[in-house]
Amino acid sequence: MHVAMVGTGYVGLVSGACLAAIGHSVACVDADPVRVDLLSRGECPIHEDGLDRLIREGMAAGRLGATTDLAAAMDGAQVVIVAVGTPSLDGRIDLSAVEAAAHQVGLALRGRRDRPVVAVKSTVVPGTTATLVRRALEEASGGRAGREFGLAMNPEFLSQGSAVTDFLHPDRIVVGEWDPRSGELMAELYRPLAAPLLRMGLAEAEMVKYAANSLQALLISYANQIAALCEALPGADHRRVMAAVHLDRMLDGPEGRRAGATRFLMGGIGFGGSCFPKDLQALTVFAHRLGVPVPLIAAISAVNAVRPAQALHLLSSRLGGLFERRVAVLGLTFKPGTDDLRESPGLKLIDRLRRHGAEVLAHDPLPQARTRARDAGLPVADRVEDALAGANAVIIATAWPQYRQLAWSALGEVVVLDGRNLLDGLDLPASLQVVRMGAGPVSPEVPTP
């Protein structure tokens, strides 16, 4: 099938490259000419495992292209997918990019007789596709949804850091449809992927995305709440507590034990990224508009917001304060495997540390993450050794696997706050004082295993 992908950020680009990899012909459109230039040269503008290879192969096979010209990209397209950003603006979801893209798509639909399907992949609050998007498309095209063009909502569940694998091997594919023909065409698009495909109404598909994201975030905040309790409990370690919880059969999938949910049920310094924080906020505001109280959803963000402070409290009590202490913060991206700094917990820690008078030098294995952080005024070392030199404390803020391999024994008497449980199972020298998240103070009165 011929597909036009509008917006080639983390979601649009991965989706476009993967759809080309499964045999479709994909024209990627972005408003950013620099991004399109890079792509046209076969270069990958983001860090995502396996993506650069898919882009090169797709371009070489003539199945993947990039342009700023939406109308040209839509020429002959049977499916037009909108994957532009939906950030938070003053606590609300900003749908202006979706509306603008729908308007532009609508203009390019004028006079078309072949009834392409327009599918929203961006995360949008329930009701958006059937109202705002449909109206923008109808007004600009002069046609009607379900008649001159099809309309669908196809939420994306990929995770940055494993996005290509997630797209090609999804847990499920969700298609919300305005009309049955649109649902059928979307099912045809995904036929090469072996995953259950669920067809439903547009608002239901929009809701699935919020329900899935808020559940994952809920698991993290729940584990962090247990971790915070353990931090105040002499001799306790939440990892032993959670290991026992993880064995509950309630967490088994239909085919037996699956490790999936337990990945989220683990304490740390909290979640960040471009999705959970903004999606939880959007869902809370949306619920408020509906007049439905959602205290549980609101509590997820509240629990997450205090984790950096709780982490620094642990560190400060070991260091005897943070003022003028040299702290190396390892990891700037919100998770390993991506160059995305949006809402990164590491950045929140750096900000707090500096406000407490600590001297911070940060590091990230990705040069582009270091450059972006430096551009934002943060102190960043290019070499991890330079960040560590002379540090009184080290914070592991992102679980980059290369940090596990550091020469920890050469560090001497340093306090290490392991915000990501990355050092678990390593044989570390006694000179290192490792502060583990979710672990209470050692007490002479309470024996620990």
Three-state DSSP class for residue 266: coil
Span of 100-108, 319-327, 360-368, 392-400 interacting with ligand NAD by CB under 6 A: 100-108
Using CB under 6 A, which of the segments 9-17, 111-119, 244-252, 300-308 binds ligand NAD? 9-17
For position 182 contacting ligand NAD by CB under 6 A, the verdict is: no
**Window 27-56: contact mask with ligand NAD (x via CB under 6 A):** --xxxx--x---------------------
Q: Which is nearer to ligand NAD, 158 or 415 (CB)?
A: 158
Give the shortest CB-30-to-ligand NAD separation in angstroms. Answer: 4
Choose the stretch contacting ligand NAD; rule: CB under 6 A; options: 95-103, 168-176, 182-190, 416-424.
Answer: 95-103
Q: Is 334 an interacting residue with respect to ligand NAD (CB under 6 A)?
A: no
3-state secondary structure of 426: coil
Q: Which of residues 275, 280, 388, 432 is near ligand NAD by CB under 6 A? A: 275
Respond yes or no: is residue 275 known to be catalytic. Answer: yes
Distance CA 392, CA 390 (A): 7
Q: 86 or 398: whose CB is closer to ligand NAD?
A: 86
Work out which of 7, 143, 337, 346 binds ligand NAD, going by CB under 6 A.
7
* Cα 155 from Cα 21, distance rounded (Å): 20
Distance of CA 222 to the CA centre of its chain: 19
Among 3, 4, 5, 8, binds ligand NAD (CB under 6 A): 8
Task: Give least dist CB 283 to ligand NAD, A.
Answer: 12
What are the helix (H) ranges across 248-365? 260-264, 276-290, 295-319, 345-355
Establish if 80 lies at the interface with ligand NAD (CB under 6 A). no
Contact 112, 144 (CB under 8 A): no
Ramachandran quadrant class, 331 (left: phi over 0; alpha: psi -120 to 50; beta: rest): left
Each residue 287-306 as x (binds ligand NAD by CB under 6 A) or -, in order, gives --------------------
Among 25, 78, 160, 284, binds ligand NAD (CB under 6 A): 160
Q: Does 129 bind ligand NAD (CB under 6 A)?
A: no
- For residue 449, the minimal CB distance to ligand NAD (Å) is 38
Residues in the chain: 449
When binding is defined by CB under 6 A, the residue of 104, 129, 214, 216 that contacts ligand NAD is 104
Distance of alpha carbon 377 from alpha carbon 169, whole angstroms:
39
Q: Which residue is nearest to ligand NAD (CB)?
A: 9
- 122 lines the binding site for ligand NAD (CB under 6 A): yes
The torsion defined by the Cα of 354, 360, 364 and 368, in degrees rounded to 10, comes to: 70
Give CA 127 to chain center in angstroms: 23
Residues 168-190, buried b or exposed e (16+ Cβ, 10 A)?
bebeebbbbbbbeebbebbeebb
Give yes or no for residue 214 binding ligand NAD (CB under 6 A): no
Candidates 5, 84, 347, 350; binder of ligand NAD (CB under 6 A) is 84
Burial 315-345 (b: 16+ CB within 10 A, else e): bbeebeebeebbbbbbbbbbbbbbbbbbbbb
Contact call for residue 274 and ligand NAD (CB under 6 A): yes
154 near ligand NAD (CB under 6 A): no
At how many degrees (to 10) do helices 295-319 and 202-231 cross? 30
Distance CA 102, CA 84 (A): 10
Look at the alpha carbons of 295, 296, 302, 305 in this order and tell me if their dihedral is positive or negative.
negative
Residue in 78, 123, 224, 304 binding ligand NAD, rule: CB under 6 A? 123
Residue reference for tokens 């999936």: 260
Catalytic machinery residues: 275
Q: Which residues contribute to the site for ligand NAD (CB under 6 A)?
A: 6-12, 29-32, 35, 83-86, 97, 100-101, 104, 122-123, 156, 158, 160, 274-275
